[in-house]
Structure 1
Amino acid sequence: MESVNVVIDDAVSEGESVENCDRDGDLISSSDPTEPSMSESSLGKPETPEKKTLPQDRDKDPKEPSTRQAPRGWYERLTSYLKEHGFSRGGADRTLFIRHVDETITIAQIYVDDIIFGSPLESLAYEFAECLKQEFEMSMVGELSYFLGLQVRQTEDGLFISQSKCAKDLVKRFGLDSKKHTRTPMSTSLKLGRDPSGKIVDPSLYRSIIGSLLYLTATRPDITFSVGVCARFQTDPKESHLSSVRRIIRYVSGTVDLRIFYSRNSNLDLAGYSDADWAGNADDRKSTTWGCFYMGSSLVAWLSKKQNSISLSMAEAEYIAAVSCCTQLLWMKQMLSDYGISQGTMTIFCDNTSAINISKNPIQHSRTKHIDIRHHFIRELVESHVISLDHVSTNNQLADLLTKPLNRLRF
């Protein structure tokens, strides 16, 4: 979703109106009838008699394109058509298409059969829409208001994105709409673990709740950490885990109208906040990496992920978290370069001075020699001024939200 957020923020910052169009009908009608069906794989090998046939495919004509292959056929056909009309495909995101006409740019982001697009000139946006309608059965939805389940409201000052309807449906679906709201998604006094002696609950129900909450994190960074922690126990959920996800839903119930705002007065400079919760996992003592990434004043991406290895110190956990944030910023920098937008030195804010000093010290010593060499590429980025790792006080560390449960005053 961060690629969509970047496209929207770039368009809003440039004063563009973001438009939306959708393909009519199902994807199978968009496939080229001359394409091979799923019975003829891309390697040219015929389907073997032993291969299991799905129930929905038993009565189908073998020459008819499979619905499982239709999205790829539609995307390849659309890609060829856009390239023929002067669009180039993005290097960082292959579903992004860009066309430069003189000094004006037209951007189109493809997501299966939904397309969002924008241009500083309304005539170019209109030309793009008409171009698609001539070749494909497209419905011009107009100004972007709903996309992939996201509700969008465009104003003179900027653009709001939310999932209010999804949040309300989620709360009602799991029967918690009449329950008391909570002020935070997770208790600060609770350390969730495997709980081997706990009461077993229905795994299907638990996974259904987790899946719904994970979808909601597309616009809700405030629940990303809590949902990620609870998602670790889907194989063997217990009553304590179910109570925790229900608390998250009760929190969502009281905050259904929270939105992300993209300002038209924002710049396009990239910056990130990096943080880690040292040995926060109660079962394997691994740390949690969290980062949030801004274009100007707009939040466009965030991550909360358990680290792959055990850190021996807080400085090491913070250092590894900063490296993860570097990779995300580099990807976003490459994506903006496709728009023709260059970046100077990008800043990552970290609240651990030891981690900052490690990134600036080219000498390996006893306290850092055990750190995997793949994490040290941040030193080269700092030396070449691609990345600047700066200190921020813990009270101003925005990434704290996604590394640990916070009390309601800090939350």
Structure 2
Amino acid sequence: MPNGKRAIGTKWVYRNKKDEIGVVVRNKARLVALGYRQEEWIDDDEVYAPIARIEAIEIFLAFASYMGFIVYQMDVKSAFMYGTIDEEVYVSQPPSFVDPNHPNKVYKVVKALYGLHQAHRAWYATLSTFLEQSGYRRGTIDKTLFIKKDKNDIMLVQVYVDDIIFGSTKKSWCDEFEALMISNEFHGRTHLLSWITSQIERRCTLIETHKPLIKDEETADVDVHLYRLQVTPKTLHLKVMKRIFSKYGGANLDKKSTIGGCQFLGHRLISWQCKKQTIMATSTTKAEYVVVANCYRHVLWIQIQMLDYGFNFMNTRIYIDNESTICIVKNPVFHSKTKSIEIRHHFIMDAYEKQLIQVSKIHTNNSVADLLTKAFDNSRFQFLVVTIGMINS
């Protein structure tokens, strides 16, 4: 061991790999570094590595569906061990594999080990450098997206840690990519990534539309390991746990409204939100305005993300079921309506003035986002389910 240095311990991690019916088919052992013993700026420098957002993967799949090309998935075996680390790091000899002639010697780490803080970053740096040298362009916004274009053909590679999904308008490009990865010793298994688009089961998942959720001191407590979103959860709360419903001031526990929104790429639903607002809305207009501002944050990210794909989707249309909210977005002089709204929500006005978005009225009965926030009777529930099915068909 060099003077002034110390070794990081190692351990074995064992795992039984099972098949789809639960039968053990392989016993796996992996040597792992005890990363918790690393000291920042001594054993590691920068450890951050980008990771694909779930919305980015949804956009990828929506785009592949629209373009009609096949998507493949590749999982790279022992991916972190391909990354080369820059820091001077030493690890102790593996337990039960200590050299009896040199028990005090250590290993100097050249390739990353699982457990090291910088392993993820080292793998990403190695893979991204390799792909860029192979003719792929890294996304400007999404650093885990790699693109190759030639006239009307496009090849997309999305990286999520050690899983890679890829697809192209040219099947030969997919074959070339797989061969390229193998030739660089990124050994992995490639699968055809298929997903089933099935009709939403037309069954009743209804709830009483006029019975609000309230504090229930009389009923029995619920096991907090089953449900824990408040201090003393009751049976009533457990029953409606999966059925979030609210309206302006409709959450009787604290009178906060619920944000509900969904974003489509063409006719394909790619992201949605259902979250209680952090503010106390003093009117339905304010509650709706905050919802629209939150929705535009997601739209803005999608707009910028699609620039990497080569598409400009500025002037996106946002549907709102509140006339007063539309008036405020278009004309901010309604001070009586806006004086209590925090400034951070007003950036949507600037987006409208720059023609980054349009705002249009939609009848409440046709708002599919209401499925995320309200309870329905059977007829309207079935209508909205059919509407979403028509949009995504």
Same fold (TM over 0.5): yes
Q: Select which of 205, 216, 221 maps to 1:184.
A: 205
How many Å apart are 1:316 and its aligned residue? Answer: 0.9
3-state secondary structure, aligned to 1:304: strand
> 1:29 aligned to 2:81?
yes
> 1:335 aligned to 2:293?
no
Q: Select which of 328, 333, 353 maps to 1:383.
A: 353
How many Å apart are 1:401 and its aligned residue? Answer: 0.5
| Map of 1:112 onto structure 2 | 161
| Map of 1:20 onto structure 2 | 73
How many Å apart are 1:280 and its aligned residue? Answer: 2.1
Deviations 1:10-56 (A, max 9, x none): 122122111111112x44533436656699xxxxxxxxxxxxxxxxx
* In structure 1, distance between residues paired with 2:215 and 2:89: 45
Contact 2:249–2:281 (8 Å) recurs in 1:
yes
> Aligned AA for 1:29?
M
* In structure 2, distance between residues paired with 1:276 and 1:407: 14
* In structure 1, distance between residues paired with 2:246 and 2:148: 40
Contact 2:222–2:234 (8 Å) recurs in 1:
yes
How many Å apart are 1:348 and its aligned residue? Answer: 0.6
Contact 1:18–1:118 (8 Å) recurs in 2:
yes
* In structure 2, distance between residues paired with 1:191 and 1:136: 59
3-state secondary structure, aligned to 1:366: helix
Deviations 1:342-375 (A, max 9, x none): 1242111111101001111132522212211121
> 1:242 aligned to 2:238?
yes
Structure 1 199/125 Cα, relative in aligned 2: closer, same or farther at 3 Å? same
Structure 1 242/366 Cα, relative in aligned 2: closer, same or farther at 3 Å? closer
Contact 1:23–1:136 (8 Å) recurs in 2:
no
> 1:204 aligned to 2:233?
no
| Map of 1:266 onto structure 2 | none
| Map of 1:280 onto structure 2 | 250
How many Å apart are 1:242 and its aligned residue? Answer: 2.4
> 1:67 aligned to 2:119?
no
Aligned residues: 309
| Map of 1:83 onto structure 2 | 132
Deviations 1:226-283 (A, max 9, x none): xxxxxx43x54322222334x76xxxxxxxxxxxxxxxxxxxxxxxxxx982112222
Contact 2:74–2:190 (8 Å) recurs in 1:
yes
| Map of 2:270 onto structure 1 | 300
Contact 1:348–1:387 (8 Å) recurs in 2:
yes
| Map of 1:157 onto structure 2 | none
Deviations 1:266-322 (A, max 9, x none): xxxxxxxxx982112222211111111111111111111111211111111111111
1:347-366 pair list within 5 angstroms: 347-366=317-336
The CA RMSD measured in Å over matched residues stands at 3.0
3-state secondary structure, aligned to 1:107: strand
* In structure 2, distance between residues paired with 1:33 and 1:323: 43
How many Å apart are 1:327 and its aligned residue? Answer: 1.1
Q: Which moved more, 1:68-77 or 1:364-373?
A: 68-77
| Map of 2:372 onto structure 1 | 402
* In structure 2, distance between residues paired with 1:386 and 1:276: 30
Give the TM-score normalised by structure 2: 0.70
* In structure 2, distance between residues paired with 1:185 and 1:408: 7
Deviations 1:373-399 (A, max 9, x none): 121111122122211110011111111
More helix by share: 1
Structure 1 33/390 Cα, relative in aligned 2: closer, same or farther at 3 Å? closer
The structure with the larger Rg is: 2
3-state secondary structure, aligned to 2:336: coil
What are the ranges of 5 or more consecutive residues in structure 2 without an aligned counterpart?
1-53, 92-105, 382-393
Contact 1:288–1:307 (8 Å) recurs in 2:
yes
1:135-174 pair list within 5 angstroms: 135-145=184-194, 152-153=195-196, 160=197
1:247-262 pair list within 5 angstroms: none
Deviations 1:52-82 (A, max 9, x none): xxxxxxxxx8866342533333223222222
* In structure 1, distance between residues paired with 2:281 and 2:177: 51
